[in-house]
Structures are given as structure tokens and as C-alpha cells.
Chain A
Amino acid sequence: MRSSTFLRIWVGLFVILFFLYLFGPLILMSFTAFNTPSFPRALPWECFTLEWFGVLANDQDMMAGLRNSIFIGLGVVLVAVPLGLAGALVLTQIRQRVRPYYYTVVISPILIPGVVLGISTLIFWDRLGTMFNASYDSLFYDGIFLTIIGQSTFVSAYAMLVFIARLQRFDPAQEEAALDLGATHVQAFRKILLPFLKPAIGSASVLAFLASFENYNTTVFTIASEKTLTTVLASKVRYGINPSISALAVIIVALTLVGAVVYEILRRREERQQQGISAKPLNLGNPVTYLVVLVFIAGLGTSWMATRFDTASCKVEAAEQKRLETERRIRELQQRRMFESGQPGTQTPAPQPQTAPKPTPGTESYPNIFAPQNLAPPAEEQPEVQENGSYQNIFAPQNLAPPAQEQSEEQPGQPEAQENGAYQNIFDPQNLAPKKE
């Protein structure tokens, strides 16, 4: 009994951790879409904002990519679903001896890396174009066409798998009966097989569209000079990002959640119709329900905040907060120095770990610490250094704290800075010569 409770706790912990791994990154990414810093980050939280959604809507590249992606997705549905259907039907009728070979060939696009599929499609049509002496604006070199063909190669195989699964439950006697009763083959197909396959056609289409929409590996080779949403996204993520990408992710995650819920509702309804009983109510004891509820509450909360919150004033506040924080740290640092100067000998390497200012606000602005200007102690400071005796640590990288971005914010606090003996800025190259004449 005890060991089973123990096991249950472990299993519960594992399930929670698993779903944390699954959803944590997406949730954190969603947070960055509502945070003001222009580099997407969830921590530290500064101000709530919706501006990144506006940035996203005004992004011409992304909108053009989105249009192309939708167009290509529809094209892939039109090509891949009939191909997959034909492939599945042939598989059910092909002779036993040839079947494994046939299956190996049609299933291989799923196993071939997407990169290879893209390259082979690109080369094939390029070579054909050269053979026919086609001009560069013909179909052979058209990025959209190539992408539809390249993606359909493997999406057809997905569609085929969906159809195979459905066809396994098909009773061929129905079709035979129709044929015996004088229906033509086309009529039997249209009246018997197609209605039976309707759900499979629906899910194959959705699958095909989504697979096409999110494909990158094949597309990046076949797309040529055109762009799709994924290629635009990839170049944005690689070369310069702002949280408008997170805003897009929020939209996609929300759409997926809605889709999943709709799917579940439809499925329940179907089940209820089939069984004639009411489906069980949502199980309240499970983490996913809580998660969905949490997401919902978070959504409500954010929209409530949005109506109440003045982003601009919050930004000013956040800047002020940052300035105060920096000052506080500097004062702390100074106090420590004073304290340490009383007991020389203990101070040299020890104090760094505990008291070093937390580099939270601007870790990315440290690269300058090794710049020559920052290293050598400027001449003007010599007297002070001698006086306190313990200033040698101030050139340790962590202590060079006030990062570039915060210096501008400190401008309003000038009087206070003087009051503190102006130590905070002494290593800032701009402050060296002119101030301390």
C-alpha cells in the first residue's frame, strides 16, 4: 500500500514535469508578447503592452509570407489529398507480392529528410527547365509552384496513411452490392465510397494544410525568391527579433487551443449521438483542465489589465524603478567598500560572489568591460584610490555595473549622484575628464 502511494506521487510528479516541459516554453514565450522590452524576454517583467500585436499587423513581410503560406497550403491540399486517396486505393488492390515494394516507395517521402526532398525537387525542375530551355519566369523556376510540389511529395503520404486507416474499416460488400444493382463504377464511388471516406477527407485536408503551413525544411529550398510565413519567421528569428514574433506565437497557440477544444467538443457530440448517452462531464481533478482554466483566466486578466493599464506611464515608472535600483546597488557597493577599507586583507577576492550587483537588468551590455577605456584607472582618481585603499576590486567585471543603457536613465538623478560622491560613474569614459577638473 505504502509503496503504491509512493509510486503514485512519483508518477504524478513526472506527469506534471512532462507537461511543464511541454507547455512552459510556450507560456513563457506568450508572456514576452505582452512585456515592453524590445528584446523578447519574460523576466524581468516591466510593463504590460499590446503594442507588439500592432507591430505584427504592420509587418509587410510577414503579411506577404502569410498570404503565400495560405495559398501554398490550399494548393497542397488540392494536390496531396487526391494523390493520397489514389495511393491508398491502389494499395488496397495491389497484388500481395508487389505490395511491400509499392508501400516502401510511397511511404519513403515521410522518412526522407525534408531538406533532401526540397533539394531534389529544386534540382529536378531546374534540370527540366534547362532541358526545355524554359525562361526563368516559367513554372520550372516558380518558387510557389515548386513548394507546392515539394511539400505534396510527403504530405500525400500523410494523407494516404489517413485514408488507409479509414479504408481498413470499409466493407467492400457495399460497393459490390451497388455494382450488382447496376450502378456504374463512378456512381458507386461517388455514392458509397466517398461518403464513407468523408471524415478521412476532412482530416486529411486539415492535416495537409497544417503540415504545409508549418513546413520549413523543404520550403526553404524550393521557395526560391518568394517567401512564406515560416521563411520570413526564420530569417527574423535569426537576424533580429522583437516580441512581435511572440505576438504571432500567442495568436497561433490561441488558435490551436481553440481548434483542440472545438475538436474535442465535436468528438464528444459524435460519441453521444452514437451511444445515446451523455458524455461524462469534464474531470475536474486533472492538470489539463486546470491549465485550460488558467490560460482562460490569464486571457481575461490580460484584457482587464489592458483596459486599466496605461503603458506609457508604466514605462516611465519602470525606467525610474531601474534608476533607483541602480542607485541602491551603488550605494550598497560603496558602503561595502567603506566597511572593507576598515579591515584590509579580507577584501581582495572574497566579496565578489555575494555582493556583486545582480546583472539582471542588462547582462547584454557587458561586452564593453574589456574595452581599453574601461580598464585603466583614470589619472584623476588616484587620490581617492589611495585614500580608501580598497578600490582595486572595482575593476572586476561584475563591479562595473551601470551598463550603458542605464546611464541615460540616470541623467535626471544627477544631484543625488553628486551627493554620493559621484562614484557610480567614475569609470564611464564620458565622465572622466570634464567633470572633475
Chain B
Amino acid sequence: MSGIRQFFNRNGVVLASFMLIAVSIWIIFMILLPQLFMLDFSFRFNLPPAQVGGPDDVYTLSNYEFFIFGSPNNPDPFNVIDVTVFLRTLLAAICVTLFDLALCYPMAFYLAQSSHGAYARLLVLSLIVPFWVNEILRAFAFRILFGTTGVINTFFLWLGIYDEPIDFIRADIALYAGLGYAYILLMIFPIYNAVESLDRNQIEAARDLGSPWWRIHWRVVIPYAKPGITSGCTMVFMLSAGALAAPQILGGPSNLWFTQIIYQWFNTGGNWPRGSAYAIVLLLACIAFVLMMMKIFKVKLGEIAQ
């Protein structure tokens, strides 16, 4: 209580109440309550509006049961489609993350340590440009690139490297390339920021002492850039696993992304409680991933979300 009085003394009544009200609205009505309502909703039956709050409106685990075991007359031991899609989404998101890491770490290192002045700034600036192009348009660009009659197929057919157009979309290559592309910036900037503050003398000291380049990276640069790497990996994983536009546009017709299943429950499926349950599953997976990253790399949350 004294804390609040102190807060008011320090900021004056007007400002203190503005800050308190704004922050409470944000935290309570925009962050916490919606998530709790969604959690609550995921434990309910899909009832018509008239019956909501009536005697049938009771808690149930059926939505989660459906995710794991499928409908009651499902012959398989578990809900093969949804669980497979869920696991494949997580796995693919990890692959996209690793791809981005492999691509961005050298680039970030180059930007931060080997380029200077106006040149470095221009490179950084040109990294930002593609990022501000709409997510959907970026996915669309990859469709032009990878479609059956797309640039790559046309070009290689013309060169005569192969005869039949390759269906990159069905093979999900377009999707992975598009997702990796979409989140490059979120990988490169945290690493860049981390590496940039590394004192060059440390690298030179290691080199003078005879360390080969890969050991310099392994023992000096990577440990130093660890928070940045963790942050980048977490953001890219979260955004890939939670991506909706790119899988809708670039995904093969038979390969769904987990967010697409959630989307279907809300739209064509018309079963919001079940959709909420699936969203909770996704949320839990993401929280688990963040906790895992924090544990493995021993970083704090504040270092991840920069």
C-alpha cells in the first residue's frame, strides 16, 4: 500500500492515475482476462446462444479429448490427423528456425564486425525493407517463384535441367522457404545487436593466441551472442509455429499447419470451444518452448523479448 502512496507522491495524482489506469486496462482487460476466458471457454460444450448459462452449460474435457483421441468412432488409438499436424508443425517450425539461424549468424557477424559506417548502415537498412512488405505479399512472391508455372520451374525447364515442372508447393518447399524468409529479420537483429557490442580485441586476442576461426566463434563469439541467438530462435520459432497466412497461401493442399486447423474450427467448423482448446494447446506448446530455451541457454525472459 505504501508503494502506491509513494508512486502517487512521486508522479502526482494526474500522472499516477493515468499510468495505473492505463496499465491495469492493458494487463487485466487485454492480456489476462481474455486468456482466462479462452481457457474457460475451451472447457465448455459448443452450445447454441440460447443455452449458454443454462443447465447444459457445464465444464467438460471433451474438446481436449477430441484433440488427442478424435471422435468416439475413430478407429485409431489417437487422433492421427490433428496430432500429426501438430507435431509436424512444431518440427517444421524448428527446421525453419535452424535454417534462419544458419543463414543469419554469419550475416549478423559480418554486419557487426566486418562492415563499417555508411556501408553497414545501408546493409542494415536494406534488411528492413523486405520486412515491411506485407506478410501476405511476401508469401505471394514465393508463390510466383515456386508455382508450377513459376519462375524457378520455367527457368529450369528452359535450361533443360529437368522436364516435368516440380510441384514445390505440394512438397512444402515453398512454405519453408517462405517462412524462413518472413522471419529473417527477427533472427538477424538480436544476433547483430549482441555481436556488435562484442569487443573486437577479444577476437583478435584469440586469433593472436593461435585459435582457428571456428574455435573463435565457438568459444568467444557464440557464448557472447547467446542471448541474441536465444532471442532470435525463440521469436522465429513462435512466429513460424503460429503463422497462418504463409501456410494458407504456400501450404500444399493436403498438408495443413496447426493454425489452419484452429482457423477451421472457428470458421467452417463453427465450433469455437474446440478451436479455443486447440489454441490453448498451441499456446502451451509455445510456453513450453520458451521455458525450454530459457533453461537450456540459461537466459532470462527479458533477454529473449527485446
Q: Which residues of A contact B (CB under 8 A)?
A: 11, 14-15, 18-19, 21-26, 28-29, 32, 39-44, 82-83, 85-87, 89-90, 93, 95, 100, 103-117, 119-121, 123-124, 127, 130, 149, 152-153, 156-157, 161, 184-186, 189, 210, 214, 216-217, 220-221, 229-230, 233-234, 237-238, 241, 245-246, 248-249, 252-253, 256-257, 259-260, 263-264, 267, 279-280, 282-283, 285-286, 288-289, 291, 352-353, 356, 358-360, 363-364, 398
Residues of A within 8 A of B26 (CB): 83, 86-87, 106, 153, 156
Q: Which of B35-43, B58-66, B214-222 contacts A (4 or more CB under 8 A)?
A: B35-43
Interface size on B, residues (CB 8 A): 103
Closest to A95 in B: B3
Q: In the complex the two chains form, is B266's CB within 8 Å of A286's CB?
A: no
Are A214 and B135 in contact, with the CB atoms below 8 A? yes
B181 touches A124 (CB 8 A): no
Residue on A nearest B184 in the bound complex, by CB: A22
Given contacts A216-B244, A264-B125, A289-B122, contact A29 B144 (CB under 8 A): yes
Q: Given known contacts A26-B133, A43-B155, is B12 in contact with A186 (CB within 8 Å)?
A: yes
* CB–CB A130/B49 < 8 A: yes
Give the residue of A83, A113, A282 whose beta carbon is less than 8 angstroms from that of B118: A282
Collect the chain B residues with CB atoms within 8 Å of residue A364's CB.
Answer: 148-149
CB pair B19 A113 closer than 8 Å: no
* 13 intermolecular pairs with C-beta atoms under 8 Å apart: A25-B138, A83-B22, A83-B26, A106-B26, A111-B286, A113-B241, A153-B26, A161-B306, A237-B136, A237-B143, A252-B133, A280-B117, A288-B122
- Interface flag for B189 (CB, 8 Å): no
Known interface pairs A83-B25, A220-B244, A237-B139; 20 further A-B residue pairs with C-beta atoms within 8 A, sorted by A's residue number? A21-B181, A24-B145, A83-B26, A86-B22, A100-B302, A105-B27, A109-B31, A113-B242, A113-B259, A119-B38, A119-B275, A123-B34, A153-B26, A153-B31, A157-B305, A246-B144, A256-B129, A282-B122, A352-B163, A358-B157
Q: Which 4 A-B pairs have the closest CB atoms?
A: A185-B12, A113-B242, A86-B22, A120-B34
Q: Pick the contact of B137 from A249, A259, A264 — CB < 8 Å? A: A249
Contact B23 A87 (CB under 8 A): yes
Interface presence of B252 (CB below 8 A): no
| Nearest-Cβ distance from residue B234 to partner chain A, whole angstroms | 7
Contact of B245 among A21, A41, A149, A217 (CB under 8 A): A217
- Do A107 and B128 touch across chains, with their CB atoms under 8 A apart? no
Query: Are B242 and A363 interface neighbours, CB within 8 A?
Result: no
Max count, chain B CB within 10 A of own CB: residue among A28, A90, A245: A90
CB-CB < 8 A to A130: which residues of B?
49, 52-53
Q: CA separation between A83 and B26, bound complex, in Å?
A: 7
Q: What are the interface flags for B104-142 relative to A under an 8 Å C-beta threshold, 1 for contact and 0 otherwise?
A: 001100100010011101110111111011111111111
Q: A291 contacts B244, CB within 8 Å?
A: no
The reply on B238 being an interface residue by CB < 8 A is yes
From A114, A116, A127, A264, B122 is in contact (CB under 8 Å) with: A264
